[in-house]
Structure 1
């Protein structure tokens, strides 16, 4: 068994106490974009970068709680256009290549030699893309709910695949769109989310957000409201990326997996993930000797799913306990 999955802690997978950042900064990355970056935990600890999902989701204090703050130097940031990064909801100079460059800029700005990547959903996509671009700067990956940005995956979620299990929620998602346009839901929403009328953008942002959030948790209730600015940023950024197939060549992340084949990885995948079904994680893990795929029973897609959260904490505690610098140290 590889070092990333060895010596898993006996913990029950409880989240660690919330830890306030010791460093908050705004990083000017050019193109008019300014990124919010924070660090918490141990400044001399093992660096780990949290890569949030969406695109457009932003980071949150909850994401800090998967890591022992006495051991890890935890870095979180809001990707271009979302969270506390500015300008909000901007898609100008906002592509996967820009985000990869931003991550590398953060690493060099913080003087980090290499780091663990911790990301789920779109965060897993971006973590894989960054690792394949800068493999020497990555010490390992912990991924959840894998999404590889392929057309088949977009078709599943926006072309009627998931709708077979949630026909009532799919009908609500389709309802704002005239029937002649429903053959291309991403394109139909794009025309409205990128209209000149900001009020119109907001009206179509909420049903876009509702469709995804309602399916993210195994027992989630449909979302009926969200802060208007959050919904608008999330919907515009996600639709922008999906309209452009995530700015990746078809199958690129599987094709270029050989670039990170030497890196250890753990994938946590909900058995009943309706947003990013398990087949994608299985494809990524097949033939990757250093990859440990863990299918979590009775779980969906969301980071907050109880069994998903517990498994991720166990993994990060296991990596902590396997670190020769801290092995045997009282905690």
Structure 2
């Protein structure tokens, strides 16, 4: 049979409106001592334009130049930066180990880092804050704490990070997987990605699968004394990383995990995520939804993939319901026929259109 006409990717290809630009400048900004947390940043677009602070996902992800393409380079001054321990920022888990890289790597410090970077770059007025996945969480927390610095919030793939949200993605049917691997015993991402789920689950011994996140965290917290131990820790990090990378697209990439399969990225990404998840994202219960009244005066734009299995659409629904409860509605709420990734074609189109249509600061 001829399957050549079937859709093979949901990722963006030729849909970009704006070309890939080069950064105007880059830099390293020290934001802490002992350890000397230092953030890598890049600036794109119009140096005199409206500032956009771009917050990447994870926690533990990183920025890439392609992320500047959502924005009209004639209008916007776009700031990309790698959060603590991520990407080109230092120290990292890969370079210095978790005992160093995870010190004071928490939500309060990440919020403070945004203000430190903002000050260092001479941003004195309001700025657009653009974040996806964990970046949407951080954007919401930042705006709740510093609404005076925010002109608008542009949020993709809402992540509220409650225990039930994490269980949906990381626990699923893992506890019974050894006996009934295809049992639909619990809700979860595994339903749509059974092969990828198998690889993720089988990294953990069957008798430890009652709490998958805790089992992985125990591996990450170990202090290997030989090469076999270091390789076991790396395998776990890569398994964690590839699981999220695979399920981020509605049509998963097969055979090429990209950065998610790279050792250094996986070690940082997996261990920072596990660190944040074990600490409930360093947020009080329902901290975001209980405090949306503080951002009720801001234009809030939400784009969420209908088929998102990293952050299911119900998380956007809960945010919108919380806003409704304080008498406001998002300025935009778009449900795209897409998965989780910012690089899904429909999501790229929606986010670019929102940025083109924003009221000027």
With the length of structure 2 as denominator, give the TM-score of the two structures. 0.83
Between stretches 147-156 and 283-292, larger displacement belongs to: 283-292
Alignment partner of 1:218 out of 250, 257, 271: 250
- What CA distance in whole angstroms lies between the structure 2 residues aligned with 1:289 and 1:62? 30
Structure 2 gap segments, 5+ residues each: 1-13, 94-100, 173-187, 225-229
Residue number in structure 1 paired with 2:360: 323
Q: Which secondary structure does the structure 2 equivalent of 1:84 belong to?
A: coil
Between stretches 59-68 and 111-120, larger displacement belongs to: 111-120
Q: CA RMSD in A?
A: 1.6
- What CA distance in whole angstroms lies between the structure 2 residues aligned with 1:248 and 1:268? 23
Given that 2:51 and 2:128 are in contact with CA atoms closer than 8 Å, whether structure 1 keeps it comes out as yes
Between stretches 227-236 and 192-201, larger displacement belongs to: 192-201
Residue number in structure 1 paired with 2:344: 305
Give per-residue Cα distances to partners, 1:79-138, cap 9 Å, x unaligned: 000100001122111000110000011111112122111110000001001111111011
Q: Which secondary structure does the structure 2 equivalent of 1:140 belong to?
A: strand
Residue number in structure 2 paired with 1:184: 211
Structure 1 residues 224 and 269, CA, compared in 2 at 3 Å: closer, same or farther?
closer
Between stretches 268-277 and 222-231, larger displacement belongs to: 222-231
Does residue 94 in structure 1 map to residue 134 in structure 2? no
Residue number in structure 1 paired with 2:329: 289
- Give the deviation of 1:191 after TM superposition: 1.1
- Give the deviation of 1:231 after TM superposition: 0.9
- Say how many residue pairs are matched: 310
Between stretches 278-287 and 77-86, larger displacement belongs to: 278-287
Question: Equivalent residues in 2 for 1:72-87 (5 A)?
Answer: 72-87=76-91
Structure 1 gap segments, 5+ residues each: 1-11, 325-331
Residue number in structure 2 paired with 1:327: none
- Give the deviation of 1:200 after TM superposition: 3.1
- What CA distance in whole angstroms lies between the structure 2 residues aligned with 1:323 and 1:272? 32
Given that 1:193 and 1:200 are in contact with CA atoms closer than 8 Å, whether structure 2 keeps it comes out as no
With the length of structure 1 as denominator, give the TM-score of the two structures. 0.90
Structure 1 residues 155 and 291, CA, compared in 2 at 3 Å: closer, same or farther?
farther
Given that 2:82 and 2:88 are in contact with CA atoms closer than 8 Å, whether structure 1 keeps it comes out as yes
Give per-residue Cα distances to partners, 1:159-192, cap 9 Å, x unaligned: 2021233333222111011111101111101111
Residue number in structure 1 paired with 2:278: 243
Alignment partner of 1:193 out of 217, 220, 223: 220
Question: Equivalent residues in 2 for 1:108-127 (5 A)?
Answer: 108-112=119-123, 113-127=125-139
Q: Which secondary structure does the structure 2 equivalent of 1:256 belong to?
A: helix
- What CA distance in whole angstroms lies between the structure 1 residues aligned with 2:330 and 2:171? 34
Residue number in structure 1 paired with 2:263: 228
Residue number in structure 1 paired with 2:294: 259
Residue number in structure 2 paired with 1:20: 22
- What CA distance in whole angstroms lies between the structure 1 residues aligned with 2:79 and 2:195? 39
- Give the deviation of 1:13 after TM superposition: 6.2
Alignment partner of 2:155 out of 118, 143, 159: 143
* Larger RCO: 1 or 2 (CA < 8 Å, sep 6+): 1
Residue number in structure 2 paired with 1:40: 44
Give per-residue Cα distances to partners, 1:252-281, cap 9 Å, x unaligned: 110011110110011001011011111110
Structure 1 residues 224 and 300, CA, compared in 2 at 3 Å: closer, same or farther?
closer
Between stretches 164-173 and 109-118, larger displacement belongs to: 164-173
